[in-house]
Amino acid sequence: MATTSQKLRLLKCFAPDTESERAVIKWLQGSGFHPDRISISSNRQWVQFDALVSEVQTLLHTSYHIYEHEGKKRAAKGKMKRQAPSLGFGLDPIVEFIDSLISATISELETVITCDIANSMAVTPKFVRELYRITELPAGTRVNSGNKLGIFQSLGQRYSQSDVRTFNGLFTRIPLDKGNPELRSIDGGRGSTSSIIDPPGDESNLDIQASHHIIYPQGQALFSTDDPPTQNNYNYSGFLNNYLDGIDGSYCSFTAFGITGNSNNTDPPLDPPYPNPKNAGKPDAFPGPLDCGTQSPTYVTSISYGGPENTLGLPANYQLRQCAEFMKLALQGYTHVVASGDSGIAADGEDSDNPNGCLRPAGQTSGPGTIFNPDFPSNCLYILSVGSKEYVSGGGERATRVFGSGGGFSNVHAQPSYQSTAVVSYFASQTLPFGSYNLTDPNQSIGSGGGLCNRGGRGYPDVAATRSLPRVVGGTSASAPIWAAMLTRVNEERLKRNMSTIGFVHPALYQNAALFNDIVVGNNPGRCSRTGFPAAPGKLNMSKVFLDK
């Protein structure tokens, strides 16, 4: 396998000379394209730029149309030879091709954009706004500069500026130079990438794209946490402590539940230390010291990351300490919105010591697990956990079928009072195909009596939203930023009236459950069980769940 330096030398051999590159860029800038809209491909053989169709028509003296195939409601865009036209300005010997001006494949973009909510399976920003009755803010609307929506980014996920610009150009009215979030780096976290060696990830692109159209002209802040060497080789049981250190300096030094911020003094370390001896001499390694309170939190932050509550080596006191911090932040007006996961009542087998993602009863050391395995950090009662749902032909809605939306009851956190009535009512109304245990009873433990879930634990998710953006990627990772964006809009209105931000939103949601739609069809299976928690009207709906507006 070629080394990084060998790849770079090979790319340099085939790259055009610098003067040719500069000539093309100068031509584009002279034609009115801002430098932020122009980039060079990773192999340096293409000059890339973002433009509206009208701008390209003027630039290349041509026109574009949408053609409908006879007998099909599908469209093919553009009609132009890929060979470059005569450009003048001495560019003809330099530019061999102008690409991406036509779509060789038949797309469903026209159908998607003009979709009828009651009859469409496609999900676009327009669909989301119409579905949730979200009006776009008028152009020129003054927004509170301190109310940006926070997006968490880590674990090797970095967004692509080019992808965000393309998405915004197709589906939103966000100007091409206004779509990038403000980087709030913690412990060397990086922002965007266009490298073939360090390619962008779907997660960050999805989080940014699913939410920005709802809050624009409000902006976003990207909390990119941990340096690239750590993100790309993350082998620590802990997670999010470095983020919390970065936005609250007191978290670094205050001890609770035996945990003091970054936990790198255990064997093995739960969190990555900084400076990290494993990364000594590596490019992009963060030299330290650990960031403590170096970034300001946002009033709402969306986190589309998580793992099993029972991760091997992740102690309960670690989770209890984090949840106490989320409580403190919520009481100060900061809301954290977290995706509930895409593995139903189980964990992803890759993140568990049991391949089927569920827990084994006490005394069983091998074989498949049967006990439901909740999600972390959605299990925290001060985090707004967001599940997913889907629409069916004709306008109905049900629990997601493509995957099991994460949901269940925590074995670490006790059930909060704000949801106790809903949980009791749910269990009383359902004849579940499995038994339960109750960890509030000192005589019971996980799996007591053959039970598969802890009816005395924090139930999650709290709310739900549609699961995808447009028909390519999805999951609860799409649902969480939609909810986070809507709460950001609520905060925008509250700030205009000199009111406090929402913060701890849970009691208000549960007390006003009648305002939301029920999901009444389906359940949330996992790898270890074909049946999860069934949806039910008017109750805490553990599958998709009971609050959905």
136 catalytic, yes or no? no
Question: How is residue 254 written in tokens?
Answer: 């205050």
Contact 149, 215 (CB under 8 A): yes
pLDDT at 64: 64
In the predicted model, is pLDDT for residue 230 greater than 90?
Answer: yes
In the predicted model, is pLDDT for residue 349 greater than 90?
Answer: no
pLDDT band at residue 476 under the 50/70/90 scheme: low
CATH architecture classification, 117-515: 3-Layer(aba) Sandwich (3.40)
- Residue, of 480 and 78, whose pLDDT is higher: 480
pLDDT at 220: 97
pLDDT at 2: 45
Pick from 219, 228, 307, 302: nearest CA to 270? 307
In the predicted model, is pLDDT for residue 219 greater than 90?
Answer: yes
Query: Lowest mean pLDDT: which of 311-315, 377-381, 484-488?
Result: 311-315
Range 140-161 average pLDDT: 92
Domain assignments of the chain as residue spans, ordered by start: 16-107, 117-515
Q: Could you say which of 477, 479, 529, 543 is catalytic?
A: 477
> How many Cα atoms occupy the beta-carbon half-sphere of 406 within 13 Å?
34
The C-alpha torsion from 201 through 202 and 208 to 209, rounded to 10°, is 140
pLDDT at 544: 30
In the predicted model, is pLDDT for residue 549 greater than 90?
Answer: no
Pick from 512, 505, 503: nearest CA to 547? 512
pLDDT at 518: 67
Query: Lowest mean pLDDT: which of 316-320, 406-410, 489-493?
Result: 406-410
pLDDT at 474: 46
Per residue in 357-377, pLDDT (tens digit) is 788 888 887 777 888 889 899
In the predicted model, is pLDDT for residue 329 greater than 90?
Answer: yes
Contact 196, 469 (CB under 8 A): no
Residue-by-residue DSSP string for 445-508: -TTGGG--EETTEEEE--EEEE-EETTTEESHHHHHHHHHHHHHHHHHHHHHTTPPP--S-HHH
In the predicted model, is pLDDT for residue 445 greater than 80?
Answer: yes
Pick from 101, 105, 110: nearest CA to 52? 101
- Residue, of 304 and 522, whose pLDDT is higher: 304
Range 511-522 average pLDDT: 72
108 catalytic, yes or no? no
Range 276-280 average pLDDT: 91
pLDDT at 216: 96
Range 115-143 average pLDDT: 75
| Percentage above 90 pLDDT, the chain | 39
- Residue, of 301 and 18, whose pLDDT is higher: 301
pTM: 0.75
- Residue, of 176 and 455, whose pLDDT is higher: 455
In the predicted model, is pLDDT for residue 477 greater than 70?
Answer: no
In the predicted model, is pLDDT for residue 470 greater than 60?
Answer: no
Range 385-395 average pLDDT: 70
Q: Could you say which of 207, 226, 248, 518 is catalytic?
A: 207
pLDDT band at residue 310 under the 50/70/90 scheme: confident
pLDDT band at residue 43 under the 50/70/90 scheme: low
- Average confidence score pLDDT of the chain: 79
pLDDT at 393: 58
Question: How is residue 403 written in tokens?
Answer: 């995957």
pLDDT at 77: 38
pLDDT at 214: 95
pLDDT at 391: 63
Query: Lowest mean pLDDT: which of 27-31, 121-125, 258-262?
Result: 121-125
Cα 138 to chain centroid distance, Å, stands at 26
pLDDT at 84: 44
Range 153-167 average pLDDT: 88
pLDDT at 521: 61
pLDDT at 263: 92
| Highest-scoring range by mean pLDDT, 254-268, 337-351, 362-376, 401-415 | 254-268
| Highest-scoring range by mean pLDDT, 74-83, 120-129, 344-353 | 120-129
Q: How far is CA 402 from CA 143, 208, 227, 494, in A?
A: 38, 23, 34, 37
pLDDT at 71: 45
Residue showing tokens 């290349």: 60
Tell me the three state secondary structure of residue 151.
Answer: strand
With both helix axes pointing from N to C terminus, report the angle between 202-215 and 161-171 in degrees, rounded to the nearest 10: 40
Contact 192, 180 (CB under 8 A): yes
Query: Lowest mean pLDDT: which of 217-221, 336-340, 430-434?
Result: 430-434
203 catalytic, yes or no? yes
Per residue in 397-420, pLDDT (tens digit) is 655 555 556 888 999 999 999 999
Question: How is residue 136 written in tokens?
Answer: 């776009």
Residue type, 381: L
pLDDT at 45: 67
pLDDT at 115: 40
Q: Could you say which of 203, 245, 342, 518 is catalytic?
A: 203
Can the peptide bond before residue 85 be classed as cis, meaning omega within 30 degrees of 0?
no
Per residue in 182-214, pLDDT (tens digit) is 999 999 999 988 766 667 777 888 899 999 999
The C-alpha torsion from 18 through 20 and 21 to 25, rounded to 10°, is 130
Range 109-134 average pLDDT: 61
pLDDT at 156: 84
Per residue in 64-106, pLDDT (tens digit) is 665 444 444 433 333 333 344 557 677 777 776 676 554 433 3
Alpha-carbon distance of 124 to 210, in angstroms, equals: 9
pLDDT at 8: 52
Residue showing tokens 């890929």: 82
pLDDT at 487: 97
Per residue in 130-147, pLDDT (tens digit) is 878 899 998 889 999 999
